Amino acid sequence: MLLFSEYDKSLDNIYSSQPVVDINLGDTNTYLVRFPKFKKVTHIILAFDAENLFLKEKSSYGYFFNLEPLLSNLEESKNCGYFVVAITSNSSRQKQYNPYPRNGKENFATKHIESILETNLPQICSDYDIELSNLKKIVMGASMGGLMSIKTSILYPVFNNIISLSPAFWFGYPGVVNDLVNLSKDSTCNISVGTKEKDVFGDDVRNIFPNDWDLDFSDNNNFYISGVERIKKELELKGLRTNFILQEEGKHNETYWNPILKQFLLSI
């Protein structure tokens, strides 16, 4: 059973659970819950990498979404209310956040998603008196979390508004591209990439990935763009509603993702 307590004194509408053990990995995740202060709940956001949402001092790399003022401002301008359930990542992130493991390896990501959606989310919604059927349902993530948001919607199509910011497509490529056919026709995929995300790789991509992938290996920036555009193309070929943002000078961190997230949320 999840028990929640104050997340931070500066944020009186956000609560944090005790660490929850992922029995498949022997590591833990924490759940954050955020509710609107003065608005009726109209949207639920299921988010990955919760540590990077609300406070810089709790973030993994010193970047954060600054999500509370973003949501508060949207609630005032749109007259809506966002209920957020977010899950932190952990030291096993590359296993827990990769829904497309190679060579028949165990899929810890799908097990993690199932645990969230089938065990912990129902309890949270019950405790906070949230009726999902009445809400617009959003699943969001960035980088590997962007893969998780897509896979969550595939497995649980009720979360049909996908926000995938700079998805780390190369994990299991072309797995994510091949899996898009399994998205519900009711899905809307909001996807983005920046033109300056090369530093995430740490080396020339030609030295890392198979050169026979049908992507642009001319430089690391173009490689990232071409991979996300490959996802976009496949979504459009499947006739799925797609909103795509190519962010000029956009880099691989939450500071750059913040305005894109706002733009996507405005459309939902």
Give dist(CA 244, CA 193) in Å, integer. 8
Calculate ∠ Cα 181-184-189, nearest 5°. Answer: 85
Give dist(CA 161, CA 112) in Å, integer. 20
Whether pTM exceeds 0.95? yes
The whole-number pLDDT of residue 172 equals 85
pLDDT in tens, the chain (268 residues): 899 999 999 999 999 999 999 999 999 999 999 999 999 999 999 999 999 999 999 999 899 999 999 999 999 999 999 999 999 999 999 999 999 999 999 999 999 999 999 999 999 999 999 999 999 999 999 999 999 999 999 999 999 999 999 999 999 899 999 999 999 999 999 999 999 999 999 999 999 999 999 999 999 999 999 999 999 999 999 999 999 999 999 999 999 999 999 999 999 9
Would you list the domain boundaries of the chain? 4-266
Give dist(CA 161, CA 183) in Å, integer. 11
| Chain-centroid distance, C-alpha 153 | 11
The whole-number pLDDT of residue 1 equals 86
The whole-number pLDDT of residue 114 equals 99
CATH 3.50.50.60 fits 4-266, yes or no: no
The secondary structure of the chain in percent helix, strand, coil, rounded to multiples of 5, reads: 40, 20, 40
